[in-house]
Chain A
Amino acid sequence: MGYPLSLTGVQLDALREVGNIGAGNAATALSQMLNMRVEMSVPEVQMLPISRVAATVGGADTYVAGIYLQITGSAPGSILFLLPLADARRLVRALLKENLRDDSICFGELGCSALVELGNIMTGSFLNALGMFTSLKYIPTVPSLCLDMVGAILGSVLHSHGVDSDTVFFIKTDFRYQGDCGVGYLFFLPEAEALVEILNSLGVFK
């Protein structure tokens, strides 16, 4: 199934609200985990060619940590939490009070599991809020971590969205903490049939 060709203003507002509620819950969870104030951007609702998604997070060769899980159930899709390397390092330091070298490209077993847990909590809180708001059941897989180029990560995440369409729909929210430290980007990527289900559940699918 392809994505709806164009979304109305009302539908876009509804989807932005979906992002807002999910990301708000995720920001609260992260704030409790870090014991710091966490801020989030207004969620961006976008439909982009698959090849242009990497540009929204700094380009295909940007080195990032990606925590990815798939959603099954009546509204299938993916959630991807992407952290630029410097931000991931800062967060692992804050969580573990451990000294990571600035040029370190490896987080060790403990650092990696801290990142997975962080992703787990962010994505879990996002989906919980979404489930309540849309009355749909989202069944997540166990999250998995990958440290690599953002292009390589996105290609692997987006292949299932790319089967019937060259474009992908996503809601992206940026998180920051302690004033100006970046945390990362949370992508919610409902597949085409899930987008229809979500719009339906909100009563804005014609």
Chain B
Amino acid sequence: MNNCINVEIAEMKIARAPINLISIGIGSCVGVCLYDPVARLGGLAHILLPDSRQSRNPENKAKFADTAIPALLADMVAAGAIKSRIVAKIAGGAQMFAFAQALDYMRIGERNVEAAIEALRKAGIPLIARDTGSNYGRSIRFSTLTGKVYIKTIAHGEKVI
């Protein structure tokens, strides 16, 4: 797809309509989509982990929910978005493997979702839609023209949020 920018794991990008943002194969990661519907400007962060404070090397802001969301917001405002218009949608946070011992670090998907919601709340960005949890991977296409997020899965159908 020519009019798409691919956002890989632990990356974040912004795009203006008609360029769309995509992330392929989101498992326990979370795709955070921020959208200014007037400027038709979107930002997508493909976060891997919930909390930068647990890292000895938190330089890559896009990797952690708590740092990716403020950084993505700042990039969007710098590109002309108005903060009060920005809304958020999130997708992902699955638990891909079922383990008998459900240790804390195995609930990574759930913790990523909680951390993303908390970071959005702190930033004052309303979360208007989500498709999170369960045990399957998702690929997302975020339309910067409409703000819609198209979600594809292998065995669990398609969805638009």
Residues of A within 8 A of B (CB): 1-2, 50-51, 54, 59-61, 63, 66, 68, 105-106, 141-142, 144-156, 158-160, 162-166
- Per-residue interface assignment for chain B, residues 92 to 118, with 1 indicating a CB less than 8 Å from any chain A CB and 0 otherwise: 001111111100010011000000000
The one of A59, A160, A162, A166 in contact with B105, judged by C-beta atoms closer than 8 angstroms, is: A160
Q: Which residues of A contact B96 (CB under 8 A)?
A: 66, 146, 148, 152-153, 155-156
The one of B26, B56, B100 in contact with A164, judged by C-beta atoms closer than 8 angstroms, is: B56
The one of A150, A156, A165 in contact with B109, judged by C-beta atoms closer than 8 angstroms, is: A156
Pairs across A and B, CB under 8 Å, 29 listed:
A51-B8, A51-B11, A60-B24, A60-B25, A142-B99, A144-B99, A148-B25, A148-B136, A148-B154, A149-B27, A149-B139, A151-B26, A152-B25, A152-B26, A152-B28, A152-B29, A152-B136, A154-B25, A155-B26, A155-B28, A156-B96, A158-B9, A158-B48, A159-B28, A159-B49, A160-B105, A163-B56, A164-B56, A166-B60
Q: Which residues of A contact B24 (CB under 8 A)?
A: 59-61, 149, 151
| Given A159-B108, A166-B60, A54 and B25 contact (CB-CB distance below 8 Å) | yes
Q: Which of A68, A145, A153 has the most CB of B within 10 A?
A: A153
Q: Are B105's CB and A156's CB within 8 A?
A: no
The one of B54, B57, B154 in contact with A105, judged by C-beta atoms closer than 8 angstroms, is: B154
Could you tell me the distance between the alpha carbons of A143 and B108 in the complex, rounded to whole angstroms? 18
- Per-residue interface assignment for chain B, residues 48 to 60, with 1 indicating a CB less than 8 Å from any chain A CB and 0 otherwise: 1100001111001
CB distance from A56 to the nearest CB of B (A): 14
Q: Are B10's CB and A50's CB within 8 A?
A: yes
B155 at the interface (CB under 8 A from A): yes
| Residues 13 to 69 of chain B near chain A (Cβ within 8 Å) | 24-29, 48-49, 54-57, 60, 63
B133 at the interface (CB under 8 A from A): no
Q: Which residues of B contact A166 (CB under 8 A)?
A: 10, 60, 63
Could you tell me the distance between the alpha carbons of A171 and B93 in the complex, rounded to whole angstroms? 27
The one of B29, B56, B154 in contact with A2, judged by C-beta atoms closer than 8 angstroms, is: B56
Q: Is the interface of A mostly helix, strand, loop or mixed?
A: mixed
- Per-residue interface assignment for chain B, residues 124 to 161, with 1 indicating a CB less than 8 Å from any chain A CB and 0 otherwise: 00000000000111110000000000000011000000
Q: Are B27's CB and A163's CB within 8 A?
A: no
Residues of B within 8 A of A (CB): 8-11, 24-29, 48-49, 54-57, 60, 63, 94-101, 105, 108-109, 135-139, 154-155
Residue of A nearest to B52 (CB): A163
CB distance from A168 to the nearest CB of B (A): 11
Residue of B nearest to A150 (CB): B25
CB distance from B25 to the nearest CB of A (A): 2
Could you tell me the distance between the alpha carbons of A146 and B94 in the complex, rounded to whole angstroms? 12
Sort A-B residue pairs by CB-CB distance and give the 9 closest, nearest first: A151-B25, A152-B137, A152-B27, A51-B8, A60-B25, A149-B25, A60-B24, A144-B97, A156-B96
CB distance from B101 to the nearest CB of A (A): 7
Q: Which residues of B contact A152 (CB under 8 A)?
A: 25-29, 94, 96, 136-138
Could you tell me the distance between the alpha carbons of A160 and B105 in the complex, rounded to whole angstroms? 8
Residue of A nearest to B54 (CB): A163
| Given A163-B55, A164-B56, A156 and B136 contact (CB-CB distance below 8 Å) | no
Residue of A nearest to B105 (CB): A160
Residue of B nearest to A106 (CB): B155
Q: Are A148's CB and B27's CB within 8 A?
A: yes
Q: Which residues of A contact B9 (CB under 8 A)?
A: 50-51, 151, 154-155, 158
